[in-house]
Amino acid sequence: MLDGIEFEEKTGSGLGFKGADISVFPVNSGPLAFPKDHPMLEHYRFVAERTKVCPKISIPGPSAIHFRVTPDTIRHEPYKDHEAFFSAIADTYKDAVAAYYEAGCRYLQLDDIFFAYLCDETQRENRRAMGQDPDWLIERYGWMLNEAIKDRPSDMTIGMHMCRGNFRSSHVASGGYEAAAEAIFGADVDVYFMEYDTDRAGGLEPLRLLPKGDKRIMAGFITTKTPELEDMDWLKRKFDEASAYVDLDQLGIAPQCGFSSTEHGNALTEDDQWRKLERVVTLARDIWGTV
């Protein structure tokens, strides 16, 4: 929870998940700020104290604030100016990045899923109805992301996760990454976690825009929405296809999203989840010789 953000419930409305819905809406009630006692800082410390490997924490990305707080739920008058709101979000996240680093975090993942949402024509039309150009939003979201992370220390890894919704094995959006690919791969991000478990994510062609170097795409060919286990030969063929657009050394494997984006969970058992993770590890060893 950020200072300046509150939540309200609205019956019968929400994000538009297919077969499920969330009717809780964030509202901007005042100036934005990252509280020094944010509970997720303690969540990070709890994990860090109990592991011998580098712990990662995932938080909503900057785009989540602007996308979810629609023009009619901005009640802090200065933020009715889009650029003022963008700047406030970027500054708030800059403080968040610094706070996580001070807590010991060296691997921070930003769930900036709304880049992918803005590749969906229904979502794009929804933004137009609000008086917002979706391509302009993509550009501004890229700016916010870079502003938020540009001052991070060199030993802090930033990951960026993109999916099209994950609630009770349901989704919101469809459409390939092409419309947002330049902004996505132009961001100063180290690792990209990209949904690719169904045709809803489009083709692999946008991967061609990944710059050569140390950036890495963790391709989400393994779904977290259903229990069926992906065939190993099919997974290897997908990496053969992906390697036509980006060097194999800049690729990796990861699940398409989390197994439980909310406390409600997805339509998988705990055993299903372990089998999926075992497949991730086995595939990584087969292709790259290590995890």
Containing structural domain, residue 91: 33-288
CA contacts within 13 A on the Cβ side of 99: 21
Q: What are phi and psi of 172, to 5 degrees?
A: -115, -50
Write the CATH number for 44: 3.20.20.210
Confidence of residue 13 (pLDDT cuts 50, 70, 90): very low
Is residue 178 over pLDDT 90? yes
Arithmetic mean of pLDDT, 255-284: 85
* pLDDT one-digit tens code per residue, 49-81: 999 999 999 999 999 999 999 999 999 999 999
Q: What is the pLDDT of residue 224?
A: 87
Whether residue 57 lies inside any domain: the answer is yes
Stronger pLDDT, 11 or 138, i.e. the higher one: 138
Stronger pLDDT, 171 or 88, i.e. the higher one: 88
Percentage of the chain modeled with pLDDT above 70: 90
Is residue 196 over pLDDT 90? yes
Q: CA 183, CA 141: separation in Å to the nearest integer?
A: 8
Whether residue 21 lies inside any domain: the answer is no
Which region holds residue 215: left if phi is over 0, alpha if psi is between -120 and 50, else beta? beta
Within 10 Å of residue 36's Cβ, how many Cβ atoms? 9
Whether residue 215 lies inside any domain: the answer is yes
Whether residue 1 lies inside any domain: the answer is no
Percentage of the chain modeled with pLDDT above 90: 79
Identity at 138, one-letter amino acid code? I
Q: What is the pLDDT of residue 114?
A: 95
Whether residue 20 lies inside any domain: the answer is no
Is residue 205 over pLDDT 70? yes
* pLDDT one-digit tens code per residue, 212-231: 999 999 999 999 888 899 99
Whether residue 7 lies inside any domain: the answer is no
Q: CA 258, CA 58: separation in Å to the nearest integer?
A: 10
Q: CA 167, CA 255: separation in Å to the nearest integer?
A: 15
Is residue 169 over pLDDT 70? no
Whether residue 69 lies inside any domain: the answer is yes
CA angle 253, 217, 290 (to 5 degrees): 45
Domain count along the chain = 1
Q: What is the pLDDT of residue 166?
A: 67
Q: Is the pTM of this model over 0.75?
A: yes
Q: Which two tokens stand for residue 23?
A: 């009717």
Whether residue 111 lies inside any domain: the answer is yes
* pLDDT one-digit tens code per residue, 80-135: 999 999 999 999 999 999 999 999 999 999 999 999 999 999 999 999 999 999 99
Confidence of residue 237 (pLDDT cuts 50, 70, 90): very high
